[in-house]
Amino acid sequence: MFISLEGPEGAGKSTQLPQLGAWLEQQGHEVFTTRNPGGTPIGAQIRQVVLDASNRAMVPTTELMLYAADRAQHVAEVVRPALAAGTIVLCDRFTDSTMAYQGYGRGLDKDLIRQLNAMATGGLRPDLTLLLDLPVEEGLARAAKARAADRLENEQIAFHHRLRAGYLALAAEDPDRFVVIDARQAPDDVQGQLREAVSRLLGKRS
């Protein structure tokens, strides 16, 4: 089972995902928690380049290809082998991030992104995508408290509004795969809803 967690900046993914993984392990499942970009040693190098705030000259096409390169390596090196071994894979961001950020945010061609995503993943799609949604200003304020802004977080507010709307459009287009959760709720309530969504999927599979 392959589950991705998505959301704009400051949605709380990195707090929620390990808790979800620990809960699944308590239920006796094998779980592998990973992320895009940076889920492999090569991906970690790509992550540094793509997020480095001093890389101001980076053009959108380069950015798109770096995320795709990270994902190709990640799927082949760790995700497919884990799924083949029967492990539940929890992934912090996946192909929907590329559509939201590079497609809706940067305005790159969405058909081309679909093709590039398909190429990078060999057609692998999440069984479930959990989208943590919250207003842009709130998310950016939370992210700013947590750490120094990276290259993407430094983008203008309009970019962040476009990508949030993009995420919601992707969820509306694919309601069988997406579950949208209001990330403004208390962290325990968010976690509860994540668990409910995963339980529903586990129920369907058993």
Q: Which residues bind ligand TMP (CB under 6 A)?
A: 35-37, 67, 92-93, 97-98, 101-102, 152
Closest approach, Cβ 93 to ligand TMP, in A, equals 4
Nearer to ligand TMP, 103 or 191 (CB): 103
Closest approach, Cβ 197 to ligand TMP, in A, equals 20
Nearer to ligand TMP, 72 or 201 (CB): 72
Q: And the tokens for 114?
A: 């679909």
Q: How many CA atoms lie within 13 A of 11 on its CB side?
A: 25
Work out the end-to-end distance of the chain between its first and last CA atoms, rounded to an integer number of angstroms: 12
Closest approach, Cβ 183 to ligand TMP, in A, equals 13
Written as one letter, the residue type at 198 is: V
Smallest CA-to-CA distance from 1 within 78, 75, 85 is with: 85
Nearer to ligand TMP, 93 or 128 (CB): 93
Whole-number Å distance between alpha carbons of 206 and 67: 34
Closest approach, Cβ 62 to ligand TMP, in A, equals 12
